[in-house]
């Protein structure tokens, strides 16, 4: 009895499947080639990566017509040469597929589809007719999602952007080459590595794992009276002054530093961690406040910087797959 049921169910699903099959819609599915030392990237079932979806996302990313003024693209601020950031408080676009929340205060929680929706609809106020009146977009929406012009919606635009983001991965820095046994650290880089992962530097607790982020929020003591940060989202006093831990990958290329871009150089950042830490109300327990910080020698600071620079991946910032289409 049971076997028969399964067989009938099987035949039925074949019929159903072939009945629905659209022979014109054959996207090229893409599998990411990620190193074994990073956790798997979670990709929503309803938005698998395809060559066509990624191409559409890339076009949207570089299109100045996306902003309601028609004069600003994502790439106007997120510039490839700087790991997709620019001046001030802009945030890099690199390995975002592992982030659980976005923006300095984590104001958008969820997936890349969610943050893309926020960017297009709330930030850019994009006019959906830009897509609907453009034959190239109409063709690309059809190829990527099998939708006709009347079905073009922000949902598919955000799906495409999310797909493009999931390909924007950087794992070819000296650090990665060292992980793969293709590069040997210099003495300074090695010393910096040891400090980074020891209680002396203690950087690894927050800039954690191979992504150099913990998906958490901390007040690192930049100011005695910090700006609100995470508090604006949760309304909890204990979140006042906390900001999202940024990744350190490509940090050499993403100056200025911190949520308000207050530091121009990594030397200034290291001076802060060494002796500039303020005893603010929600200061992280990981931050030593005695002597104003980790109290590093100038040699130790220089060594940590040497290590941070091994996280630079020029292949990422020059990869033609991520440049303007
Ligand atoms: C005018 C400059 C500017 C433009 C244009 C711009 N951004 Fe941003 N982006 C920023 C700034 C500044 C932040 C940080 C904002 C904050 O935390 O409040 C940011 C943050 C982000 C983040 C969060 C990254 C993280 O690590 O949490 C994403 C994702 C993002 N932008 C995507 C986009 C997309 C997609 C577009 C185009 C639709 C775009 N941005 C256009 C300036 C810009
Ligand atoms: C308690 C967690 C924590 C520890 C420990 C920590 N960081 Fe950070 N780091 C953060 C957070 C959070 C920010 C963003 C703070 C802000 O802008 O308000 C940050 C920012 C930075 C930045 C600037 C990033 C950018 O994109 O602007 C650098 C560089 C940096 N940290 C390096 C280090 C180094 C090196 C160490 C060890 C000496 C270290 N951090 C220790 C949490 C931490």
pLDDT tens-place string over residues 90-149 = 999 999 999 999 999 999 999 999 999 999 999 999 999 999 999 999 999 999 999 999
d(CA 250, CA 253): 6
- How remote is the CA of residue 105 from the centroid of ligand 2, in Å? 14
Closest residue to atom 42 of ligand 1, CA basis: 90
- Domain boundaries defined on the chain: 26-33+42-169, 174-314
Q: Give the H/E segment covering residue 305.
A: helix 298-309
Longest dimension (CA), the chain: 78
Helix count (H) and strand count (E) of the chain? 13, 4
- How remote is the CA of residue 168 from the centroid of ligand 1, in Å? 15
| Tokens 């929600």 belong to residue | 282
User: What residues have CB less than 8 Å from 319, skipping those under 6 apart?
Assistant: none
pTM, whole model, 2 decimals? 0.93
Ligand sitting nearest the alpha carbon of 93:
1
The CATH number assigned to the domain with range 26-33+42-169 reads: 1.10.760.10
Closest residue to atom 29 of ligand 1, CA basis: 115
Instruction: Examine domains 26-33+42-169 and 174-314 and report if their fold is the same.
Output: yes
Task: Tell me the CB-side half-sphere exposure of residue 171, using CA atoms within 13 A.
Answer: 16
Choosing from 91, 126, 216, 248 the residue with most ligand 1 atoms within 8 A of its CB, the one to mutate for a pocket test is 91
Statement: residue 16 has pLDDT above 80: no
273 lines ligand 2 (CB under 6 A): yes
d(CA 45, CA 124): 27
Q: Which pLDDT belongs to residue 240? A: 97
The string of pLDDT tens digits covering residues 285-300 is 999 887 799 999 999 9
The CATH number assigned to the domain with range 174-314 reads: 1.10.760.10
User: Per-residue confidence at 197, pLDDT binned at 50, 70, 90?
Assistant: very high
């Amino acid at each position: 009895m049971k076997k028969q049921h399964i067989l009938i169910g099987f035949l039925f699903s074949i019929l159903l499947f072939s009945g629905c099959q659209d022979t014109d819609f054959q996207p090229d599915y893409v599998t990411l080639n990620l190193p074994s030392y990073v956790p798997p990237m979670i990709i929503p079932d309803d938005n698998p990566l395809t060559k066509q979806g990624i191409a559409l996302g890339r076009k949207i990313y570089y299109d100045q017509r996306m902003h309601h003024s028609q004069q600003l693209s994502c790439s106007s601020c997120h510039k490839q040469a700087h790991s997709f950031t620019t001046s001030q408080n802009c945030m890099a676009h690199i390995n975002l597929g592992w982030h659980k929340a976005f923006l300095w205060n984590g104001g958008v929680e969820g997936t890349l589809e969610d943050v893309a929706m926020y960017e297009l609809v709330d930030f850019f106020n994009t006019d959906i007719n830009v897509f609907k009146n453009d034959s190239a977009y109409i063709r690309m929406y059809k190829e990527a999602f099998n939708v006709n012009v009347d079905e073009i919606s922000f949902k598919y635009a955000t799906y495409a952007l999310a797909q493009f983001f999931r390909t924007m991965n950087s794992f070819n820095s000296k650090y990665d080459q060292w992980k793969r046994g293709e590069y040997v650290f210099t003495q300074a880089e090695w010393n910096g590595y040891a400090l980074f992962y020891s209680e002396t530097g203690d950087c690894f607790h927050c800039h954690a794992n191979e992504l150099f982020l913990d998906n958490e929020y901390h007040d690192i003591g930049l100011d005695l009276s910090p700006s609100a940060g995470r508090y604006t989202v949760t309304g909890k006093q204990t979140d006042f002054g906390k900001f999202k831990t940024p990744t350190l990958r490509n940090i050499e290329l993403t100056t200025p530093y911190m949520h308000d871009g207050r530091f121009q150089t990594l030397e200034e950042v290291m001076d802060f961690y060494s002796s500039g830490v303020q005893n603010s109300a929600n200061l992280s327990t990981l931050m030593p406040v005695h002597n104003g910080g980790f109290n590093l020698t100038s040699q130790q600071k220089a060594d940590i910087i040497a290590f941070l620079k091994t996280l630079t991946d020029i292949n990422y910032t020059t990869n033609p797959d991520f440049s303007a289409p």
